[in-house]
């Protein structure tokens, strides 16, 4: 095991364990979906839960539900009466997500919206305390521009996969056909220059941007 993997294993071993329900969801996701690596997983999931507990949000927005793992993690920190809205494009995931939401006791507090996030966002007229963007990477900038005006001053946006397997680094020559890598690199540079926010780039897993609206 190389040092980077050893450090990650050590971090995992010194992070609170995931709830049994989430462990079951992880196993089911790996057995029954084609791209289980899209799952947030134990380490990032506990971070999302911790951030949510720190913010104690009334309204959370997630773009990119997948099988519901990250939504369930963030819902753990909701304030009394708080709600989470999560948007997923794939209708085939609905039944699994709703089943786990019910089992976790979040029925009526986690709201699943099936459809294209770019079209659905203007219909969600909430003020967000916490937003997690984990959807189509080419449209990160589109989602960010739509969401930021809806985030309260002092609210937070998290954007996943901003390392894109290290392809965003200046030392990496992005091939013309790799539109996702170029879009992520351009988005990262945009956020760094955006005077409306403060940001911290966290090199966790595939990179996580932590952004606070001024």
User: Mean per-residue pLDDT for 9-24?
Assistant: 96
Q: Taking the chain, what is the end-to-end CA distance rounded to the nearest angstrom?
A: 42
The yes-or-no verdict on residue 2 having pLDDT over 90 is no
Burial of 9 (0-12, 13-18, 19+ CB in 10 A): exposed
The residue among 18, 17, 67, 62 whose CA lies nearest residue 38 is 67
The yes-or-no verdict on residue 1 having pLDDT over 80 is no
**pLDDT tens-digit profile of 128-142?**
999 999 999 999 999
Question: What is residue 131's predicted lDDT score, i.e. its pLDDT?
Answer: 98
CATH number of 189's domain: 3.40.50.150
Q: What range does the domain containing 29 cover?
A: 3-213
Angle, CA 40 vertex, CA 154 and CA 86 arms, to 5°: 60
**pLDDT tens-digit profile of 78-129?**
999 999 999 999 999 999 999 999 999 999 999 999 999 999 999 999 999 9
- Domain tally, the chain: 1
Q: Mean pLDDT in the chain?
A: 96
- Single pTM value for the model: 0.96
> Is-contact 197 183, C-beta < 8 A?
no
């Amino acid at each position: 095991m190389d040092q980077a993997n050893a450090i990650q294993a050590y971090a995992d071993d010194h992070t609170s364990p995931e709830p049994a329900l989430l462990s079951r969801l992880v196993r089911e996701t790996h057995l029954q979906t084609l791209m289980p690596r899209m799952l947030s997983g134990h380490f990032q999931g506990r971070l999302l839960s911790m951030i949510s507990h720190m913010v104690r949000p009334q309204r959370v927005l997630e773009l990119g539900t997948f099988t519901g793992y990250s939504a369930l993690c963030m819902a753990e920190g909701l304030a009394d009466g708080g709600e989470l809205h999560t948007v997923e494009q794939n209708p085939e995931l609905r039944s699994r997500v709703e089943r786990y939401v019910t089992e976790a006791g979040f029925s009526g507090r986690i709201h699943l919206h099936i459809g294209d996030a770019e079209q659905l966002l203007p219909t969600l007229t909430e003020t967000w305390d916490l937003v997690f963007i984990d959807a189509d990477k080419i449209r990160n900038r589109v989602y960010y521009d739509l969401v930021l005006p809806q985030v309260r001053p002092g609210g937070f946006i998290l954007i996943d996969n901003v390392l894109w397997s290290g392809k965003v680094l200046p030392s990496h020559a992005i091939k013309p056909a790799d539109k996702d890598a170029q879009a992520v690199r351009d988005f990262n540079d945009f956020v760094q220059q955006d005077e409306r926010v403060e940001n911290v780039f966290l090199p966790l897993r595939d990179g996580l941007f932590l952004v606070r609206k001024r």
